[in-house]
Structure 1
Amino acid sequence: MKKSILLLGLLWVVSLSQSQAQQQTLPPLVNVTGVGEVHVQPTEVVVNLGVETRQNSLEAARSETDKKAAAIINYLKKQGVDEKDIQTSYVTLQPMYNGAEYGRTSPDFYLAQKNMTVKIKKLNKFDELMAGIYKVGVNQVHGINFQVADVEKLKTEARKRAVADAKQKATTLATELEARVGRVYQINESEGGGGPRPMYKTVMMESAAFDGSGGPSIAGGEVTVTSNVNVSFILED
């Protein structure tokens, strides 16, 4: 037992010594963070919409909601929206009680809801599609989100710009210290740094964008794709 404890202690000492030796032998480094951004016009919009129905019976609420949902899907397909761009996202069917009377067994009504997300790839058809789905049964719109179709290419470009930015920062710092930037020692991309985001909050649905003369009712603004990289360069004399 004593031999085992002695051996473990010896191994720990050796490991600690190696770790300290590695820290002591690190080359002189300059650590910087590079940021790369690509600003583009959105190419598509995802709409979260729904149907809500209230009826005296469960079956009537379910039937009417399903009927309206089917009409919405059929309308969208006829307007050229691909079936894979229409997805049901939420379904609920439940009794509703307005009062707090103890022991009630009969609900005041039944509530049925069905939500779906729809990807519209032709932004100039947004107003026409929205007007049409209201007519066929949509009575809820929970929000919209602008995005770009081929975001991976934009992420790649954003990374290139982030790396160039990091190198420029490192060169500036090294020059001020009369040193030169050598090879890359380590590089990491920050988590969550490459995703697209709206550049302005006004990118969301705004009725104020409608000027009353037949203009568009939404403003797409810009989508920004960002990448952050942390880079360590070796400093040379």
Structure 2
Amino acid sequence: MKKTFLLLLAVFLISQVAVQAQQQAMPPLVNVNGVGEVRVQPDQVMVSMGVEVREKTLEQARKQADAKAAAIIAYLKKQGVNEKDIQTSYMSIYPIYSNGEYGRTTPDAYTAQKTMTVLVRKLNKFDELMAGLYGAGVNRVEGVSFQVADLEKYKAEARKKAVNNAKQKATALTNELGAKVGRVYAINENTTGGRPVPMYAEAAMMKTQDSAGADGPTIAGGEVIVTSTVSVSFIIEN
């Protein structure tokens, strides 16, 4: 029992010595946070749209939905949209019962849906493309969101601004104390943003359907905001 106590005491003392040594070895630091922000006009738009059909039989509903989806894809390719920018994102077929009579053996009809996402890389072609899509069979628009193609470029710009902001703060703090900012001791970074700016699906559908009588573009991309935050520890020099 005595030996165990002495062993535990020795381990405790060694750990305390190690902690004190580490604390003594740590240089004087100034810890600051820096923030950098870049606002960018989006240069491409992601559209989620599709078709919905209702037919008497399941097979008829499926065939109609497949035919319309094929026509939409063919139209997009004809307009120069790359195949990799077209993706089927959702599909369903379900029975329709009148008066909510779900227990019946035979439904009144079947509804089939197919939804796909399309990346439009030329914003000035959006209205023309959407007008053609309605003609090709699109009768549902789930959503429209704006994006930036070269996002990494703006993330790097925001990160640089954040680092400069942190250094300015550290310099201001140490100058007030008659000291100087030395080399970087530690740094942590987090860059967020660049998310698509959503546009209501109903508004997108109504505006593009009415675009024939419009005097200008029917969509406005606004801005995409990219933000970077850094936590930096600088060594203080006298």
Question: Quick check: TM above 0.5?
Answer: yes
2: CA distance between counterparts of 1:63 and 1:79?
Answer: 24
In 2 relative to 1, CA 92–222 (structure 1 residues): closer, same or farther, beyond 3 Å? same
Runs of 4+ in 1 over 4 A off after TM superposition: 1-10, 200-212
In 2 relative to 1, CA 101–120 (structure 1 residues): closer, same or farther, beyond 3 Å? closer
Question: What SS does the aligned partner of 1:197 have?
Answer: coil
In 2 relative to 1, CA 12–195 (structure 1 residues): closer, same or farther, beyond 3 Å? farther
What is the CA-CA distance between 1:194 and the residue it aligns to? 3.5
Contact 1:202–1:221 (CA under 8 A) maintained in structure 2: no
* Structure 1: stretches of 5+ with no match in the other structure: none
Contact 1:203–1:220 (CA under 8 A) maintained in structure 2: no
2: CA distance between counterparts of 1:64 and 1:170?
Answer: 66
Question: What SS does the aligned partner of 1:99 have?
Answer: helix
TM-score by length of 1: 0.86
Determine the structure 2 residue equivalent to 1:216: 217
Determine the structure 2 residue equivalent to 1:145: 145
Give CA deviations for 1:140-183 in whole Å, capped at 9, x if unaligned.
11111111111112211211111111111111122222221111
Contact 1:202–1:219 (CA under 8 A) maintained in structure 2: no
Determine the structure 2 residue equivalent to 1:58: 58
Determine the structure 1 residue equivalent to 2:126: 126
In 2 relative to 1, CA 197–173 (structure 1 residues): closer, same or farther, beyond 3 Å? farther
Determine the structure 2 residue equivalent to 1:94: 94
Number of aligned residues: 234
When the two chains are superposed, the root-mean-square deviation of aligned CA atoms in Å is: 2.9
**1:165 aligned onto 2:165:** yes
Determine the structure 1 residue equivalent to 2:48: 48
Aligned amino acid, residue 50 of structure 2: G
Determine the structure 2 residue equivalent to 1:115: 115
TM-score by length of 2: 0.85
Contact 1:203–1:221 (CA under 8 A) maintained in structure 2: no
1: CA distance between counterparts of 2:134 and 2:39?
Answer: 33
2: CA distance between counterparts of 1:24 and 1:226?
Answer: 36
Q: Map of 1:2-41 to 2, 5 A cutoff?
A: 7=7, 10-11=10-11, 13-41=13-41
Identity across matched positions, percent: 62
* Structure 2: stretches of 5+ with no match in the other structure: none
